[in-house]
Structure 1
């Protein structure tokens, strides 16, 4: 199951479309869906989680807690909508495009992709682009 939770006044339009897309991302990586919760929040909310659980005193766009077991993908993905909006401006892309990138990014981490080195980051960006292109593709 995929759950969308809101700690701000933002609401994802057409949750079913996003659910279908995320399920197809997982299937395309030969994984199974367990339970994923997306929590949309603001900078202050995510900063508190970053400090409390990760001991990082910085702002970030996404924090994911991975509960994946084997090939069954599960976890909690916290997304700061303020960071997404700022990143969209910085990268000169629409907000929805950047939001899709972050939604896919969290799931890709659960599928085993990392982004700590330049090589890993390049592969992650390539995978994000690949998965974003699947958004409107019918099954």
Structure 2
């Protein structure tokens, strides 16, 4: 089950569409959907989580905590809507596109994709692009 939670004024206008899309990504990656929680928040909220749990004193657009068991995906995906908005401007894309990229990025981590090396980043970006096109 995919759920959406809000720690800021932002709210998705298309929760059902996004939930169906993310479910399809999970199935396409030969995984099973468990409980996945998206938590939309501010920069300050996510910075506090970054400091407390990861000891990183930086702003970020997403932090995902993976509780998956084998191929059954479970986790909490924290998304800073402030960072997403700034990144969308920097990358010259629509806010909605950047938000979708971040949301699928989190679940792709649960599917086993990494983004630490250049090669891993390239594969991750390719997967993100592929799934974003499916949503359009």
**TM-score range normalised by the length of the shorter chain:** over 0.9
3-state SS, counterpart of residue 20 of structure 2: helix
- The alignment status of 1:31 with 2:13, answered yes or no, reads no
Give SS of 1:53's match.
Answer: helix
Q: Which runs of 5+ in 2 are unaligned?
A: none
3-state SS of the aligned residue for 1:5? strand
RMSD of Structure 2 on Structure 1 (CA): 0.5
Shift of the alpha carbon at 1:22?
A: 0.3
Instruction: Could you list the structure 1 runs, at least 4 aligned residues long, displaced by more than 3 angstroms after superposition.
Output: none
Q: Count matched residues.
A: 136
TM-score relative to the length of structure 2? 0.99
| Aligned: 1:94 with 2:94 | yes
Distance 1:118 1:95 in 2: 25
**Structure 1 residue ranges without an equivalent (≥5):** none
**In the alignment, what sits opposite 1:59?**
59
The aligned runs of 1:1-139 (5 Å cut-off) are 1-136=1-136
TM-score norm. by structure 1 comes to: 0.97
Describe the SS at the equivalent of 1:89. helix
